[in-house]
Chain A
Amino acid sequence: MSQSFDEITTQLKRRHRKSARLKWLSMASLGVALLFLIVFFADMLNKGLPAFQQAMVQVEVNYNEDAETMGRAALEPDIAPLVSRSFERLIPGMIRDNPDLLGTTETRWVLTNSDVDQYLKGHRNELSEDERAAIDERVENEQVEMKFNTTFFTHGDSKMAERAGIMAAAVGTIMTMLVTLAVAFPIGVMTAIYLEEFAPDNRFTQAIEININNLAAIPSILFGLLGLAVFINFFGVPRSSPMVGGLTLALMTLPVIIISTRAALRSVPDSIRQGAFAVGCSRWQVVRDHVLPLALPGIMTGSIIGLAQAMGETAPLIIVGMVAFIPDVSASFTQAATVLPAQVFTWAGEPERAFVEKTAGGILVLLAVLIFMNATAVLLRKKFERRW
């Protein structure tokens, strides 16, 4: 009556093929997703790594009297157009600060302008044929070289691409993150402790919970509107400052910290609480002395991840004005500042080719920091992961 194995196996061929097709299709999807990741990183590295190299030229600086007012006069006329104007502008000040220099000559390596830099890197530039020839000759004589770009890490923004750096943005990011952490961490952890350990299970608590979940899903730009309307217009926090940026990001990070802290608290088994209650601890003592220490790694992990998220955020900061042009590093909470992603955004809007490289370079730094933070979080979790 029933079919033999061979008959069934023959009938199954088509169905097995279909099943295999699903498998391959799904595998290919994952492959495509991972391919995106690889293409993305390759593209960023390709565009951004050159930013860490900058063309330098060896010039004869002749501190003559003309140079006291016009720096360019200190340079030989054939090379002067190739040197970064940022250096020419420094010369009068150098003479003023150190009058002994006057009349002396010095050979030193200085930044070239970005056209030379782009030419040497093989990108589009606006050099004339003669200038190219001059550069080529100096390259032969080892008077023009690519060197590690320290300017990029030690200076703030500049309209001259060869002079632009991420220092001001990095300091701004640190200041902003300090504010964010100082606000979001205590409030987030306290909220989580309240909800997880103290709150009665009533409507009010449920409302807070639903609200926190919704808050996590609100588009970040709306937090910017909140920051603008409440912090700047209502409370008068200075616009563009790390203070207002940090507060705005803190509200955004709050749900992340609350949710991960709650998860960490929940993973501490009840037996520990009951044990502590049994020896006469009050609820607060149980939390402080027994639950929190055990939950701490989880809380740290969540906070780092939340902070990393905030660090990459740009949209709300644009709204509160943190995309200012900041050439000088300033470590103040109330003065205008910018942050790394906002710096990236500003540079991405610059039309010059040299800024594409800077943008990608800034992105690489940002990504490196974020990957470092997330890796720390993952390691922390691995190290302290406990099975009860």
Chain B
Amino acid sequence: MNSQVAEREMTPMTSQRAGQPVTRNEQVNHDLSVRVRDLNLWYGENQALHDVNIDVFQKTVTALIGPSGCGKSTFLRCLNRMNDLIRDVRIDGLVEMDGRDVNEPKMDEVALRRRVGMVFQKPNPFPKSIFENVAYAPRMHDLVSRRADQDELVERSLRDAGLWEEVKDKLHQPGTSLSGGQQQRLCIARAIAVQPDVILMDEPTSALDPISTATIEDLMDKLKQQFTIVTVTHNMQQAARVADYTAFFHLGELIEYNDTKTMFSNPYTKKAEDYITGRYG
């Protein structure tokens, strides 16, 4: 590990900006998954993230909330370097996972994405069969070798994503023939089939009806036994229901990062309180 990083070591749960503590110190009984220090990001001239510091813990759900355009998606994409796909992006700061800075030149972004999966706002199944949608990536990654392994993995992933019962009889129909909520769960199945450590979800339920939303919320609760989940949501109730930790962003800054209960009952900052109680945003 980099010595500079060691100097800036902080106790878990403490995020600092300009010397101002924004979260309550509390003993945490989770292991660290991703550590972010002084993360700044520019789109061309335009700075979209300012000195973000955050610790994401293993096997928890962390929710990112905040008004539109505050940088939640941008931050999320920093965790698996999806920002590489955008031109004119400059990133500065540390995003550390498994003892490695994900932005270091030696880091292979494909390897990173293999461990940090992502589910998008709009379901985007591949134009292939349901089976292939799930089986395809594990096959690429040599996670399965035998036909039987593959069938088993597909079934397990679809079961974990809560979709198996609905699609087990039509595995060979195109993935796009499913409903929106089913498609989104297919995308989740696809993501968990490659057995990542972290799953990023960018407003996974915003295009869905309430019932599909509830299904996916239940799913997150189950999935956090295996995976670390970071999710963006505009829905306060959803954050309150599913998240263990909540981070509140505003204008590219991380204003407050706290455990969800505290965040929603007794937030430390005024801004967060205003946002949560619906006074703006």
Contact = CB atoms under 8 A, between A and B. Distances in A.
Given A8-B115, A15-B140, A2 B110 contact: no
A2 B111 contact: no
B209 to A, nearest CB: 33
A10 to B, nearest CB: 9
11 contacts: A1-B195, A2-B196, A5-B100, A5-B111, A5-B115, A8-B114, A9-B108, A11-B141, A12-B111, A15-B110, A16-B110
A1 B142 CA distance: 16
A214 interface: no
A16 B111 CA distance: 11
Interface string B16-59: 00000000000000000000000000000000000000000000
Contacts of B100: 5
Contacts of A16: 108, 110
B107 A5 contact: yes
A4 interface: yes
B98 interface: yes
Interface string A1-31: 1111100110110011000000000000000
Nearest to B226: A1
B98 A4 contact: yes
Given A8-B115, A11-B142, A2 B107 contact: no
B233 to A, nearest CB: 26
B224 to A, nearest CB: 15
B112 interface: yes
Contacts of A12: 108, 110-111, 114
B217 interface: no
B140 A2 contact: no
Given A11-B142, A15-B140, A5 B110 contact: no
B133 to A, nearest CB: 20
A4 B197 CA distance: 10
Contacts of B141: 11
Contacts of A2: 115, 195-197
Contacts of A3: 115
B111 A8 contact: yes
Contacts of A5: 98, 100, 107-108, 111-112, 115
Interface in B158-207: 195-197
Given A5-B112, A5-B115, 11 more contacts: A2-B195, A2-B197, A5-B100, A5-B108, A8-B108, A8-B115, A11-B141, A11-B142, A12-B110, A12-B111, A12-B114
Contacts of A15: 110, 140
